[in-house]
A = this chain, B = another copy of it.
Amino acid sequence: MAKRDGGKKKRKAPWPVPAPEPALRDVLRVPEGERIDLTAYDARATPAGPADKATGLAATAALGPRLAELQERLYAASTAGDRRRLLLVLQGMDTSGKGGTVKHVIGHFNPSGCRIRAFKAPTREEQNHPFLWRIMRALPQPGEIGIFDRSHYEDVLVARVRELAPRRLISRRYGQINRFEKSLAEDGVTVVKVFLHLSYEEQRDRLLKRLDNPDKHWKFDPGDIEERALWPEYRKAYEIALERCTTDEAPWYLVPADRKWYRNWAISKLLLEHLEALDPKYPPGDFDVAECRARLLAT
């Protein structure tokens, strides 16, 4: 009977192997060497991963234990001299969810291994230094996860829109930033830059919600309405920053941010992919386990 098939054994059709899902970092990465037009990106899109809220919340929660474990490994490795660490840079318009990301995404991690810094308008002392000075001082140490809520990019965003420095000077900063980030990468810092892409309409809704709830009035600043009037200028400034500062060492990721659950999932997943690529290991002990055991039992 077997001969009838030319010697080949009849086999059941195997279960189809699903095509491997593309890494989210490849989906969200800002293309290099292209003009960026932010109006072409839908801020409500769910370009990969869960497509509805219930699935998204569950998927995000499911990432938690793995993120926590990788963070512990990264920290553990640093105690044995591994200098690697991760820096998440969050940028986006007012209400785009930088603070919410810290609360919900960084909440997965052990807080003692996180170094969080929210950058406000520079102080007098900070203004007397190069714009990267305060950034250097806030960097994560080996084994840590650093989070910047705003960053050195403010110096080419609000600084450009509000003309806080001569245009000539601002133009030089893109190169300074790229060189700085290249040095960070060489020193073991994985820089994950996330632009929270919010729509003009969603910002209006979020600002209105703050106004409607007296418990949120402390978060509202009438100045936010004036900043909103400069939306096209800010969009342009972001487009330039994304174009000029997406490098191999530190690309920008464009995360649709109108849906909070999608934003939280996408950033959690991006962090997971980067931590998995680092693949940090628990370092072995440099002591005699049996001997220590015996000494302990004698106490």
A residues contacting B by CB (< 8 A) are 76, 79-80, 99, 102-103, 106-107, 109-112, 114, 116, 118, 147, 149, 204, 207-208, 211, 214-220, 222, 225, 228-229, 282-285, 287, 289, 292-293, 295-297, 299
Can you identify 21 A-B contacts, CB atoms within 8 angstroms? A76-B218, A99-B112, A102-B112, A103-B112, A107-B110, A111-B111, A112-B147, A112-B149, A207-B296, A211-B293, A215-B282, A216-B282, A217-B282, A217-B285, A217-B287, A218-B283, A218-B285, A220-B292, A222-B292, A225-B299, A229-B299
Instruction: Name A211's contact: one of B102, B208, B292 (CB within 8 Å).
Output: B292
Give the residues in chain B near A284, CB-CB below 8 Å: 214, 217
Give chain A's interface secondary structure class.
Answer: helix
- Evaluate contact between A283 and B217: CB separation under 8 angstroms: yes
**Separation in Å of the A104 CB from the closest CB of chain B?**
9
Q: How far is the CA of A250 from the CA of B164 in the complex (A)?
A: 46
Give the residues in chain B near A109, CB-CB below 8 Å: 111
**Separation in Å of the A141 CB from the closest CB of chain B?**
11
Give the residues in chain B near A110, CB-CB below 8 Å: 102-103, 107
How many copies of this kind of chain does the complex include?
2
Instruction: Name A289's contact: one of B102, B211, B218 (CB within 8 Å).
Output: B211
Contact A285 B220, CB 8 Å, known A211-B292, A225-B296, A292-B225: yes
Give the residues in chain B near A76, CB-CB below 8 Å: 218-219
Q: How far is the CA of A80 from the CA of B217 in the complex (A)?
A: 11
Give the residues in chain B near A293, CB-CB below 8 Å: 208, 211
Please name the residue on chain B nearest to A226 by beta carbon. B295
**Which of A111, A214, A283 has most B Cβ within 10 Å?**
A111
Give the residues in chain B near A285, CB-CB below 8 Å: 214, 217-218, 220
Please name the residue on chain B nearest to A208 by beta carbon. B296
Please name the residue on chain B nearest to A219 by beta carbon. B76
Please name the residue on chain B nearest to A287 by beta carbon. B222
